[in-house]
Every structure is written in structure tokens, then in C-alpha cells.
Amino acid sequence: MQEIKRIGVFTSGGDAPGMNAALRAVVRSACHREIKVSGIYRGYEGMIDGEINDLSPRDVGNIIHRGGTILKTARSARFMTVEGRKCAFDQLAKNRIDALVAIGGDGTFAGARLLYLEHGIPVVGLPGTIDNDLFGTDNSIGFDTAINTAIGAVDKIRDTADAHNRLFLIEVMGRHSGFIALYTAIASGASAMVIPEREVDLDWLISDLQGAINRKKLFGLVIVAEGNPLGSVEELARKLQERIHEYEVKVTVIGHIQRGGSPSAADRILASRLGHEAIEALRGGSRDCMVGLLNDTITLTPFDQAIGKRNLPDPELIELATILGL
């Protein structure tokens, strides 16, 4: 096994709170093992363009509490081509980078996998996405902060919903995954939720809300996952208003607020643990895999499984959200 003298680290895809904490852990754990670190800027875009600089433990000081990513991030179309990946690999070779730590989500890992398969460079991934859709980790870095942000927003909307007797549809992020919606629904005490992981139709939702009206609920909060099966939240609001007259229906899309802000304690600790383990995994000969935490135990999951299998919410939690929304 080739000794690793220098690793490259990058963030890619959507930013997530805790990416900086992960970067800090990677750089400092590498230093602890006398491995040099190069920071690659703007994800695969910067890799192709050679935007690469040395990173020392001091360069990652004062960032553990910051959202976003000091390495910047990008979604790269060029890296989707064989030629783009060859350019990227040539830049890594020119900078004497022996291995990579990729911080991001499924698109990041799909790219990392191709780089490994085509050019043999060892890559280990850290799950950095608010969506929590990666198989092989209970939580991804950024998820906890995102749900806390969403819950804070719903708490505020609750005041207005209560004051005006309104039904609010609150759209949260998650792409094709309903994790953010489910956890936000439970923690904010929502009346109902619409998520991709549970089959529902409009009639079911209306009869559920009608039941709430019959039980004298004076206002309603429905958490809608952006990837929900009933379509756009605006369209859904229009259809609900046509058939529900007891409430005025309003829409709030929380949007990118969920991606920003200072990471929660849970995200900082998760990022620090996983960042450290990424270095240990590379030293131990791991490659083509994601480092995650399952049942508080560090786990390595091959990239093809991390992105090929679906991380599904616990059905008991879906049931719980429904029961408590009564």
C-alpha cells in the first residue's frame, strides 16, 4: 500500500452547516499524522482549474462555528465528462496529492467514485448535506442545523397561524427526501406533513384536515417536503383553499435559510468525529467509501451503496408524526 504523504480536501454540491468543522478536523487530524493537506477550492470546478493551496492547522482556525464552506463549493458540469476528470486528475498529480477527502452529498460521491475507478486515486467521503439522504449514516453533517432552523421558522409562523385562524403550508428542503419535513413536523408539533416516503393523495389530506377542524383546531401547520408526491406547494394551497373554508390558506417556503447559519453542537461534533475518521480510514487503506455514524459507531459504506441505496426514515417516526398531529 502506497504511503499517503499529502491529501487533498474539497467541498462540493450544496453547502451544509458543519462543512467547515469537518474541514478543520480533516486538516488537524492529518497534521497529527504528519500528512500534508492541500485545499481544493470550488469543488470539482477548482480541481479542474488547479485552484489548490496548502492548508495548515492555522488556516482552519476560527471556522468551527461558521456555516457555508471556506473552500467554496460548486456544481460542475465539466467534471461529468471523461476529459474533465482527466484534467482534474492531472492537477492532483501536479500537486502531488496521493488521496482525497470529499465532503458533500450524492453528486459529490458519484464524481469521487469515477475519479477513483478511472485514475486509482484513493477517495474517502464525508456526508455533508442537509438532506440526510445518504445510506450508511444516521445523520449527515448539516441535517441537525437545518431542522433546527426549520423548527425556529415554524415556531414563528405558529404565532401568526394562531392569531389569524390560518392554515399554513410550510415547504422545507430535502430534494427527494422527506427527512427534514418529518423531523420538523414532529419537533414543531405540526398538524400534518406531506413527504415522499408516504403515499398520500389530496382527498386523504383534506379529510385529515377536516378531522382537525371537527376537533376544534383553530389553526393548522402542514409541513410539505419539496419532493412531496402532491406537487408544488402553491398548487396544493390553491386546491386546499377550494375545499376548506374554515381556514385561510397561506404558503411559506423556508428555502435556503435552511442551508445557512452557525452549525449546531450536534453537527460540529459529528463533523469533527467524521473528519478525524476520514484520515484514519485513508491511512488504513480504505478508499471508494463514505465514513458515517450508525448507532454511534463509525461505519464505512462503499460509495455505490451510500448513493445507490436510499436512506429511509423510520416508519415508526412517520406514524408518530401522524398520531401526535391529532
Q: Is 131 a catalytic residue?
A: yes
How many angstroms separate the CA atoms of 70 and 88, rounded?
A: 20
Position 283 contacts ligand F6P (CB under 6 A):
no
Position 196 contacts ligand F6P (CB under 6 A):
no
CB of 159 to ligand F6P, least distance (A): 26
Cβ closest to ligand F6P, residue 259 vs residue 276: 259
Q: Which amino acid is at 290?
A: M
**Active-site position among 98, 131, 133, 267:** 131
Q: Are 26 and 37 in contact (CB under 8 A)?
A: yes
Instruction: Please report which helix (H) or strand (E) contains residue 189, including its range.
Output: none
One residue of 76, 129, 184, 311 binding ligand F6P per CB under 6 A? 129
CB of 17 to ligand F6P, least distance (A): 11
How many angstroms separate the CA atoms of 314 and 302, rounded?
A: 22
Position 149 contacts ligand F6P (CB under 6 A):
no
CB of 121 to ligand F6P, least distance (A): 25
Position 131 contacts ligand F6P (CB under 6 A):
yes
Cβ closest to ligand F6P, residue 35 vs residue 173: 173
Q: Are 138 and 294 in contact (CB under 8 A)?
A: yes
One residue of 6, 166, 175, 250 binding ligand F6P per CB under 6 A? 175
Position 306 contacts ligand F6P (CB under 6 A):
no
Position 140 contacts ligand F6P (CB under 6 A):
no
- Please report the DSSP string for 273-307 in residue order: HHHHHHHHHHHTT--SEEEEEETTEEEEEEHHHHH
Whose CA is closest to 168, among 257, 242, 256, 237?
237
**Beta-strand relationship, 52-54 and 166-172:** unpaired
Q: Which amino acid is at 257?
A: I
One residue of 85, 217, 259, 276 binding ligand F6P per CB under 6 A? 259
Question: For residue 254, what are the contacts with CB-CB under 8 A and spacing of at least 6?
Answer: 149, 150, 153, 170, 171, 172, 173
How many residues sit in the footprint of ligand F6P (CB under 6 A)? Answer: 10
Position 67 contacts ligand F6P (CB under 6 A):
no
One residue of 88, 173, 281, 321 binding ligand F6P per CB under 6 A? 173
- Please report the DSSP string for 229-264 in residue order: TT--HHHHHHHHHHH--SSEEEEEE-GGGGG-SPPP
CB of 219 to ligand F6P, least distance (A): 27
Task: Find the part of the chain contacting ligand F6P (CB under 6 A) among 173-181, 234-242, 284-292, 302-310.
Answer: 173-181
Q: Please, which of residues 96-115 interact with ligand F6P by CB under 6 A? A: 105
Using DSSP's 3-state secondary structure scheme, residue 174 falls into: coil
Cβ closest to ligand F6P, residue 121 vs residue 169: 169
Instruction: For residue 193, count CB atoms less than 10 angstroms from its CB and return exposed for 0-12, middle for 13-18, buried for 19 or more.
Output: buried
CB of 66 to ligand F6P, least distance (A): 18
- Catalytic residue numbers, as ranges: 131
Interacting residues with ligand F6P (CB under 6 A): 14, 105, 129-131, 173-175, 226, 259
